[in-house]
Structure 1
Amino acid sequence: MKIVKIETAKVNIPLVTPFKTALRTVDSVNDIVVRITTDDGQTGFGEAPPTAVITGDTHGSILSAIEEFIAPAIIGMEIENLDGIMKKLHGSIRKNSSAKAAVDMAVYDLFAKSCRKPLYKILGGGRKEIETDLTISVNGVEEMVADSLKAVSQGFRILKIKVGKESKMDVERIRAIRQAAGPDIKLRIDANQGWSAKEAVKIIRTLEDMGIVMDLVEQPVNAHDFEGMKFVTSQVYTPILADESVFSPEDAIRIIRERTADLINIKLMKTGGIHEALKICAIAESYGMECMIGCMLESKIAVSAAAHLAAGRGIITRADLDGPSLCREDPYIGGPVFDGSRIVMNEDPGMGISRVEAFCD
C-alpha cells in the first residue's frame, strides 16, 4: 500500500449549544479533514481543529503545513513503513501539531486496514467499550445546573464542569451542580488556565471543606506556570490533571519527575497524533501515572482516533471524548458508535469510518 494522494477539505458542523470556556466561545465545529489514498484504492481519514488559543493552529496554517510540507514528504511511501512515515511527517515541519495529528491518524487508519484489524487492537487490544464525560459550558449558575441535569437525564454519569472565567462564582457553580446532580455523579472541574495558583488552592480547599468530592481539577493555572501547578497539587487532596502543560513526551517526563500534577491529559492535537501519544503512554506506564484522553472541539473522525487509542492502552483510565455528542449532525458513516456516554468500538478494519461527506462528489 503506497500513498499516492493526500487531500484536504473543510467541515462545518453546528453545535447543539454554544461551547463556552475560560478561553473562548464557539458555535460550530469548523475543522479541516484529510483523506489519504493508496495505490490499491484504500482510504484513511484524519481531522484537525484550528484551536489557535491552545495549539496556535489556524485553518491557514493547517492547510499550508499539510499541503506544502507534510504531503510532499510522505507521498510515495509504503504504509507498512509506519516508523519511516512518522519520521518524515514529524521532520517535515516544526510544531503544527494539529496538522500532523490529522495526517498521523489517517496513516494509522490505513496501517490498521493493511493488517485487517480495528485500530484499537493494533494499539494494544484492551477494551471494547469506554465511557466518556459530557462538558458543561461555563454560564450562569442556573443555566449550568439545568444543563447538568439534562446531561444526567441522558445517561451521563460524569460531568466536566467548565469554570475559570469568573473565579468568584466558581465555587457556587460547582456547589449548585453537586447539590442538584447528587453524590453519585462524578464531577471533573476544568479551569482552562483561568485561576492563579493561590486562587486555585483557595477554591479547591473551599470545595473540599464543603464535602464536595471532585474526580479531578484540570489545568487550574497557566500552561507555563509549572511552579504554580506544583504548588496547587501539593496543597489540595483533589487530583490535579495537567492538560495544556503537556504537548510532548518531554513535557510528560517533566510533569511526572517534578510532581507537578497527579494525572496527564493526552490530546492528539497537542501531541501531533497517535505516534507521539503512544510515547507519552509508555512514559506514564513506566512511572505508574494514569492518563485521561481528551479532545479539542472535534467531530467524529478525530474523536474516533482518540477513542481507539483509549481502548488500546490501559494507562488511559478516563475519557473526555464528548465531541460527537456536542455536534448537531454527523456527516460521516462508520466508526465507533457514540451512544451518549458509551463509546463502542468498531470491529471492521482501521478506524471504521467509510464515508466523509466533505469528500463526496
Structure 2
Amino acid sequence: MGEHGNGDPQSDAVIRAGDGKSSGHAIDNPGLPPHRPRLADVDEKAAKRAERQVSALFLISIIGTVMFFVGYFVVGVTAGDLEMLRLQNTLLGLGVAFAMLGIGLGVVQWARALMPDHEVIEDRKPLRKEEERAEAAATVNEIVDETQIKRRPLLRNTLIGAALLAPLPAVLVLRDLDRSEDFGVERMRHTIWEEGVRLVRDPTGTPIRAADLTVGSVVHVVPETLREISGHGERLAAKAKAVVLLIRMQPDELAPATGERENWTHEGIIACSKVCTHVGCPVALYERHTHHLLCPCHQSTFDAAQQFKVIFGPAGRPLPQLPITVDDEGFLVARSDFTEPVGPTYWERGYTS
C-alpha cells in the first residue's frame, strides 16, 4: 500500500503527539486547559456587583415568603367571595414561586460568579491516620472559605434569611390540611349516617323508594341530613365520608350473609361506601352481569354480590357496607352508621377481615 502502510499494526508507525516521550498511548493526556479568570476574580467592583445581585435574589425569596404570609393570614375569604379567593390564591401561588425561585437563582448566580471555578484533579485516598483526618477537616474549611460567605456578610445574611423563611409556606400548607383539634383516625370511623336517615339521590336530594329501583340499577346517594349542615366546607367534608353506591340485583344473586349482616339488605338492594379502601378514589364503575365494582384509579375490583370483597387489585379490605331497610312509607333508610371506618386502610385502624 505504498508509504501509507499495509494496515498491519505491527509494522505501521504510530503517530504520537506530545513532547516525543513514549507514554504508551496514541495521544498524550493534554491535561487541564489553562484557567481563564472571570471578571469578578480580578475586579473587586465586579465581585461586589455580583454579590449585590445574589443578595437581591435572596431578598426576592424573602419578599415571596412575606407575600405568601399576607395571602395566608391577612386576606380573609368568606363563602362565595370569588374575588378575594382569587386574590388569596394569587398571593399564595406567586409567594411560593418567588420564594423558591429567588433562592434557587441566587445560589446558581453565587456559584457562577463568585465561587472558584478552577478545575482540580485530586486522587482519593483512605483516611486512616489522624493527620489525614485533620487534612480532610482543613479541606472542608477551605471550601467554606472559597464560598466567600465569611467575607461577604450581605450575601451571608440574605441567604440565612431566605433559607429560614422559604420552608415556612410548605409547613403552613401541610398544617392547613386539617385544623380541627380531633384530627386522627377516629374521625374516619364515623359519618353522619345514623338509624332512620333516608337515602337521597346525589345531587338532587330526592328520597328513594325501594319499589322504584329496577334490577341492575346503580344510584349515587347521600344522607338526607347532609343538607342540614350549613357551612360549605363542613358539608363537603361530611359528604366525602358519607357518599354511598346503591345497587339492586336479584335477591338470589347475593351471597348468603351471616351474623348481623343478614338484615343489611332489602329485597336485593345493597349499599356500600364509594370511597375505595386503597387510596380513597371514588368507586363508581359497575358491571351488571358480574356484579363487579371497579375503582378507576388503580383497578381495585370488588364483588358486590359477596359483601363487596376484594377480588383484584391493591385494596386491602372490602368496601364498607351500609346497613339499610325501608321506613313506613317505603323509602330506603339507614339502619345505622357504617360499622367500620370508610376510606383507605391504615395500620392504626387495626382492621381484621
Shorter-chain TM band: under 0.3
The structure whose RCO (Cα within 8 Å, separation 6+) is larger is 1
Report the structure number with the largest CA radius of gyration.
2
TM norm structure 2: 0.21
Structure with greater proportional strand content: 1
TM-score by length of 1: 0.20
